[in-house]
Amino acid sequence: MQIVDSGKIFVGKPNSEFAKTCFPYVAQLSNGDLLASFQIASVKNGIDSKAMLVRSIDGGKTWTEPVAPFNPILNGRQGSLHIAYVSELKPHTLVASILWCDHFNDKTLEFFNPTTGGLLPTEACLSFSEDNGKTWSALKNIPKGTLDGTPTPVMGSVHRLDNGMLICPFETSKEYHDAGTWQHKAAYFISYDNGQTWPEHKVVAHDPKCRIYFWDHRIANLGKGRLVDLFWAYDAVENKELNAYISKTVDYGKTWSHPLPTSIVGQPWPIPISNDQFAVVVVDRNYSQTIKLYLTNNCGESFDAAEPLTIYNAKNALTGDSLLVNELLTQMGNWAYGLPSGCLLSDGHVMIVHYAGNDMTTNVNWYKIKI
């Protein structure tokens, strides 16, 4: 694997509402356009967070100025939009899965409660576009059913499976002032009618003993009912990050394998390539302090199909090793690089996006990778 091209999608502007960018995501539409999204705010996950979109019609060489096309009002209440993941349901019809957050109009409240580890109220929301992303519908939150009252931040884009089912990944957090044990679950909402209703959800990973947290799960659709889910794993007893875990299904999610550890260290994001081949882009802040790309040809049994490719190398980075859960969650707001994602391009290359910068500002970078 090798980097064949790279550039910047957006450059943060210090001491402004455009200072901090993070959580980028990119998708290629059927017409060839690249649509990238990211959070922008004066401080990471701040009350002025907005979900921005930019577009490239020349393979990433140039990008439009960012726009904030989503109305942050949900059911009559003003909120902040922390992230939007866009996917194409069919040509010209797009759906964005959006993390809506209620900051209670109080900019002093941190996204994660530094005392309890609880999360501000969040909703998994959807917005639809019928004109290839030019205009978007009003936000509609996905009903939580038995999870009502539980913060449910989205964990990726909506996937359309080969049987027509749509799934929207999310995870459960706990309420902001809840000092109890975090009953974390990596799950997804399910729709059988093109996203009009979402009558149920499916849990992929949950440790009933609440020792291992399967955080930030990212699903890759390999086709024909086969999906893989990768997790950023944390041991709440030993207070340490574990290697990334993986779970699989071959029956459209009816059953999932028990999560097992991989050889990968860090926060993973899988990118389908073909058949049993997929890439995984990973940020490792605690050890190598890098962003790397891994490749598997055997559906994640091993990740040695190619030499890992280092995309970004950080120096003097903060570490979260041996931190308590609450400390690690709070420290996330200070991380100045990370959370890469990517997609397969129509020419067979892979595009990776991530954010990086310093205490004052962060930028969104892109890389084109030859597999």
| pLDDT at position 317 | 43
Residue 323 pLDDT > 90: no
CATH code for position 236: 2.120.10.10
Mark out the alpha helices in 206-343 (DSSP H runs): 325-331
pLDDT more than 70, % of the chain = 95
pTM (whole model) above 0.85: yes
325 pLDDT band (50/70/90 cuts)? low
Q: Please compute the mean of the pLDDT values over residues 209-226 and round it to a whole number.
A: 97
| pLDDT at position 328 | 53
Per the structure block, which two tokens stand in for 276? 């049993």
pLDDT tens string 37-70: 999 999 999 999 999 999 999 999 999 999 999 9
| pLDDT at position 330 | 45
Number of independent structural domains in the chain: 1
Measured between alpha carbons, how far is residue 142 from residues 188, 191, 253, 334 in Å? 11, 10, 19, 30
What is the DSSP code (8-state) at residue 165?
-
**Residue 361's domain spans which residues?**
2-370
Per the structure block, which two tokens stand in for 351? 């595009």
127 pLDDT band (50/70/90 cuts)? very high
**C-alpha to C-alpha distance for 107 and 120, rounded to whole angstroms:** 12
Residue 142 pLDDT > 90: yes
